[in-house]
Amino acid sequence: MTAIVSTTAPTRSWRLTARGYERLISIASPIVLLLVWELAARTGAVDVRFFPAPSSIFEKLVALLSSGELMRHTLTSLGRLGWGVLLGGVPALILGIMMGLNRVFRAIVEPLVAALYPIPKSSIVPLALLIFGLGEGSKIFMVAVGVFFPVIINTTTGVLEINKIYLDVGKNFEANRWSTFRTIALPGALPFIMTGVRLGIGMGLVLIAVAEMIGAKSGLGFMIWNAWEIFAVEQMYVGLFVIALIGVALTVILQELERVIIPWKTA
């Protein structure tokens, strides 16, 4: 996309470039939507039992924040998400690299992954509850399952995509197994791995919400479910808003992280 370069100097100070114009629209459109929504709610054009006015949702957000309740649920969910990402991601990373480096190991593990991957992850929540009970275990397990598959699949692909010449260099320069893993397979596959982690965390966020709706006493999923049970619609919207916010924040953080740990990619 090229910016419009004005030929006459004076107009440049106030005329927007095409990109600036688009950015303005992107910022304006949700604000306009919220205003329309607010107006519709106040005039009774939409049913406030389903679509409460943004101002009342915001009031509820402030109330839940000041009571500490929102913070408690958010931190609980984030904690489960963090543990799940760690417990699902790290084994997936190690297994994925091993699959990429070793044909025999790949032949053993690949069919298992291919068979389990298509199962909708949310459908195994009852199984997770059966095995791990109502406590933290089942929630963390669900996140781990969600993270595991995208990470293992992307990591394997990433290692397989590494140009064979780098492995030849490693062999010729007497890199042992661990060094090959650390200095070639891991950094070589890192761009793919980061994609896997991003997809995995997205999946984890979905699953934590689902898992917390069933058999949990805390967390954002519970807060949303509980809002339905007591018919506190504003609280439900607050929960949805915070989950969306976490999703956006994590995406931004991961993008920044990628820039730092993959410096050779920024051309």
Q: Rule CB under 8 A: which residues touch other proteins?
A: 163, 165-166, 168-169, 171-176, 179, 183-184, 187-188, 190, 262-264, 267
CB of 162 to other proteins, least distance (A): 10
CA angle 61, 78, 84 (to 5 degrees): 155
Please check whether residue 169 is in contact with residue 211, taking contact to mean a CB–CB distance below 8 angstroms: no
How far is the C-alpha of 34 from the C-alpha of 53, rounded, in Å?
Answer: 9
Residue 147, judged by CB atoms within 10 A of its CB (0-12, 13-18, 19+), counts as buried
Give 94 or 167: the residue with its C-beta nearer to other proteins: 167
How far is the C-alpha of 117 from the C-alpha of 132, rounded, in Å?
Answer: 21
Please check whether residue 88 is in contact with residue 207, taking contact to mean a CB–CB distance below 8 angstroms: no
Give 234 or 258: the residue with its C-beta nearer to other proteins: 258
Give 185 or 213: the residue with its C-beta nearer to other proteins: 185
Give 104 or 165: the residue with its C-beta nearer to other proteins: 165
In the structure encoding, which two tokens stand for residue 119, read together?
């199962």
How far is the C-alpha of 145 from the C-alpha of 83, rounded, in Å?
Answer: 12
CB of 179 to other proteins, least distance (A): 6
In the structure encoding, which two tokens stand for residue 4, read together?
């419009």
How far is the C-alpha of 183 from the C-alpha of 171, rounded, in Å?
Answer: 12
CB of 186 to other proteins, least distance (A): 9
Give 14 or 264: the residue with its C-beta nearer to other proteins: 264
CB of 187 to other proteins, least distance (A): 4
How far is the C-alpha of 83 from the C-alpha of 67, rounded, in Å?
Answer: 26
Give 52 or 188: the residue with its C-beta nearer to other proteins: 188
CB of 172 to other proteins, least distance (A): 5
Q: Which of 218, 237, 216, 215 is nearest to 228 (CA)?
A: 237
Give 187 or 202: the residue with its C-beta nearer to other proteins: 187
CB of 197 to other proteins, least distance (A): 17
CB of 165 to other proteins, least distance (A): 5
Identify the three-state secondary structure at position 115: helix
